[in-house]
Each structure stands twice: as structure tokens, then as C-alpha cells.
Structure 1
């Protein structure tokens, strides 16, 4: 089962609108073309679909993502309007990935850049994880650990400790895929029942400079995506691909 992660598209309703470093719609189109060549079984888009929170941005996203030759799914980031996003395409809570299970969390705090799962969603996650023992991927927008960029870490997941308290009870959780950071990232969280790997991927829009204390765009880096090959028995392989524009 090949899962590919896209993130942080930051689209405008106008496909010719510019970001700091390029045209987000054109970059997304190029990334999708590259993704399709990797023959994914499913694609997960981990938030910040829109920059201007407009109906047109979500319509443009679905038009571009429709070019994929596989099912695709999304969840909101801090820049998204969940109502407009859901009206364009349903935001599902879970995706069947064969031998694996993919659980999605909404970490958005409306009007805020930082994120939170919240008590009710954590209780629901606890219940859902108790229902099955299949190897599990949790997908969310905000990273549940520091990534080494001070300004991003200040805008991370506010209830990360509570999240890990829940996840730590379930050894079938193997990894977390997150967005928000606009860069490739890999970290490990040691837990009583084992360890969980945390991965982020490059944005399809602008890239952020790793290790920066203050906001900085990585002008030398390219858009990209993460490939995750989910294997039976809870094993996997993952890597990042970059896309030439």
C-alpha cells in the first residue's frame, strides 16, 4: 500500500496569484503530476489547502487533485475554513489502508496559528484506538513535537503531552504524518509501549528554512511530497521526493 502525503498548498481562488516564491496552483499541479508517476494507492493532504479561505481556492484544489489516479483525502490546517472545505469535499475521520489503518485528527483552532486536538477529540481517539489492533498511522496538521525551528515550535500543538498520553497506550500506532512546517522532518517519540515516528513533508508551495529561529523561506529548496510504503506486519519505508519546476 503506497500512501503519498501532500501538504500546505496555500492556494488562492485565482490560479495566477503568487506566494512569496512562486505560483502555488502551478506548483501543486507539478507536484501532482510527479506524484501520479509514483503510482500511489492513496494520497493524503495534511492541511492548509487555502491561503485566502475562499470557496474558489477549495474548488481549485479539488480540480487539481482530481488529476490523481487514486483516491485522495484531506484535513484542515490553521489557514483553512472547515465549513467551505467540507462543502467542497467531505473531511473523513478514518481511511482504510488495507493492512493498515489511517486515523485523521483536526488540530485547527479557528483564528489561531497554533493547534490543539482537544479533550473531546482525544477521548474519541482513545476509543477508536481501542477498537482495532491493525498498525495505525495518525495524520494531523500540527506536529506533536518540536521540529527545531523556534518560530514554528511556538505555533505547534498546544496539547501535545495529552496527545502522547493517549497514543502511548496503543503500541499499534507506528507513525504520525503532519504538515504545517513546510519542510522535510523526522523525529522519534519514545513511549512506554515502544516508539512512534513523526514525519513531516515539504510544502507544495513555499518551503521554510529548517533550524531557523525566526520566519525564513528556504529559497534554495523545491516543492515536494512524502512517499510511505506501508507493508504487512507493521513495517514501512518512507522518503521525500522533490519536484523540479
Structure 2
């Protein structure tokens, strides 16, 4: 890879078994394809990361529909993924098994590591287990900078979705302090493009939340509702200096 990594993150497609399936009045399959077409037209995207909630109706057909969207648009950029609370990890592994999909949890060059952390639990809320932290921690190269991507948000967003956030935030923050080279976090789940600072004992890092390909949540609603905004994604540029820049794109 070149000196910098350009990474497109998309999240929360909430697909149904049928291409005409609608989530809060939005055709989520067409929205996913609009996002993928936009990513395909971005210059020099080295990798795509999907941060979960592929399915809304939990059917195997919805997983096939997800891969169909990439096939239809002839996406040949490597695609990495992590499960959301709606997803079955075994089905992701089964259906996202051929190119362009990659089942590794690390993307790296000489300067950066992008590491995927599983946060799915038995409830809609998230947990990053000690085993998961140990696994990811063993991959960290302190001579490089790290961006960590997961599904659930590790900082409160200030609206209803916080009921389903990361349950073990404090333990996770303690783990983050062990690795000064971790520069930022990214997540899906909240269907909004926010920057949420996380104050650790030794420093503050930003959590960059990814807009959904399906719908964006109305932050003034007490339950899931669309704010009418179109589908979106975010692009990270990870420079050899350790600097990180982030751009949000709505289509």
C-alpha cells in the first residue's frame, strides 16, 4: 500500500429478503447501491469496511442481496466487515466468503493498522469482551498508528440509541489506555455522522460515527424514526505522519 490509506466505511444497510423491502419508508437496497456507486467513484479508495447490521429481517436471502449489490456494481475494492447486533456472524462468514470480501480483521501499511473489533452481544446493546480485546491487542504494533472500527458506539450520542450502546465502556476505556498509538475509533449503529470525544486517563480520542446506508435516525425522537436525510458513508484518510482526516458523504 502507499504511504497513506484511504478507507471508505459504510454501515447499517438493514436489508430484507426482497429488493423492494423498505425500512421506515426507504428502499434500503437501492440506498445501498447508491452508496456503493459513490464509493466506487471516489479516487483511490484502498479498502471498504462495513460495520454491521447488514440485515433487518434476519433472512439468509438478505445476505445474498448484500453480495448481489457488490456484484452488480462490479466492486473490486477489498471489503472487510464486522457483525452488527442484527447479524449472525456465521452467516456473514458464509456469504461474504469470496472476493471482494475479506475475512481478516486487520488492514495495514507501513504506518497504520485498521483493526476491526467484534461488539455483538446477546442483546441489541454491545459488549467488547476481554477475549476480543486480547486478540486485537496482540495484533497492535506500537510503531504504527491505529484506527479501531466496530459496530456499537463506545460514547453516548445523546439520543435514544444510547439504550443500545456499548455496555462495558469503562473497561474498554481502560484497555484503550494501554495503547497510546490508538489514534481514533469509528463505529456504525447510531445512523448519524457525529464526532464524539472520549476522554481517557491519558488523552482524548475521537469516535467518528458513520451515517447509515439505510436511514438516518431522528435524534429528537424517543424511538427509531427517519429524519428524512439520504444514505451516507464516511471516508478516512490515514497519513504517514499519523494524522487522520475524515469526510462524510451523503448521496
Which TM-score applies when normalising by structure 1?
0.92
Contact 1:95 1:101 in 2 (8 A): yes
Structure 2 match to 1:81: 88
State which of 11, 16, 21 in structure 1 corresponds to 2:25.
21
Instruction: Report what 2:130 is aligned to.
Output: 119
Shift of 1:143: 0.5
1:55-112 CA deviation, whole Å, 9 max, x = no partner?
Answer: 21112112213432411111100000111111112542222245210111110013x1
- The residue aligned with 1:50 is 55
Structure 2 residue runs of 5 or longer lacking an equivalent are 98-102
3-state DSSP of counterpart to 1:30: helix
- Confirm or deny: 8 A CA contact 1:21 1:219 kept in the other structure: no
1:21 and 1:206 in contact (8 A); partners too: no
Contact conserved, 1:188 with 1:196, CA < 8 A, in 2? yes
Q: Give distance in 2, aligned partners of 1:180 and 1:152.
A: 8
Aligned ranges 1:119-138 → 2 under 5 Å: 119-129=130-140, 131-138=141-148
Aligned match for 1:194, one of 193, 203, 221: 203
C-alpha deviation, 1:221, in angstroms: 1.1
Q: 1:20 & 1:189 partners in 2: Cα distance?
A: 31
Alignment-derived partner of residue 34 in structure 2 = 30
Deviation at 1:25, TM superposition (A): 0.6
- What's the secondary structure of 1:228's corresponding residue? strand
| Distance change (3 Å), C-alpha of 1:219 and 1:14 | same
Q: What SS class does the counterpart of residue 225 from structure 1 fall into?
A: strand
Question: How far 1:156 sits from its partner (Å)?
Answer: 0.4
Q: Does 1:225 align with 2:223?
A: no
In structure 2, the CA distance between the partners of 1:14 and 1:98, relative to structure 1 (3 Å rule), is: farther
Q: Map of 1:132-151 to 2, 5 A cutoff?
A: 132-149=142-159, 151=160
Question: Could you tell me how far 1:19 is from its partner in structure 2?
Answer: 1.3
- TM-superposed deviation, 1:113: 0.6
Give the drift of 1:119: 2.1
Match of 2:100 in 1: none
Confirm whether residue 60 of structure 1 aligns to residue 60 of structure 2: no
Q: Contact 2:80–2:105 at 8 Å: present in 1 too? A: no
CA distance in 1, matches of 2:75, 2:12: 17
* Partner of residue 166, structure 2: 157
2:243 corresponds to? 235
2:24, 2:209 → 1: CA distance? 21
* Residues 1:2 and 2:13 aligned together: no
The 8 Å contact of residues 102 and 139 in structure 1, kept in 2 or not, is answered as yes
Conserved? CA contact 2:24–2:226, under 8 Å: no
How many residue pairs align between the two structures?
A: 239
Q: Deviations over 1:142-190 (max 9, x none)?
A: 01010111x2111100111111101112111011110000011101112
SS at match of 2:139: helix
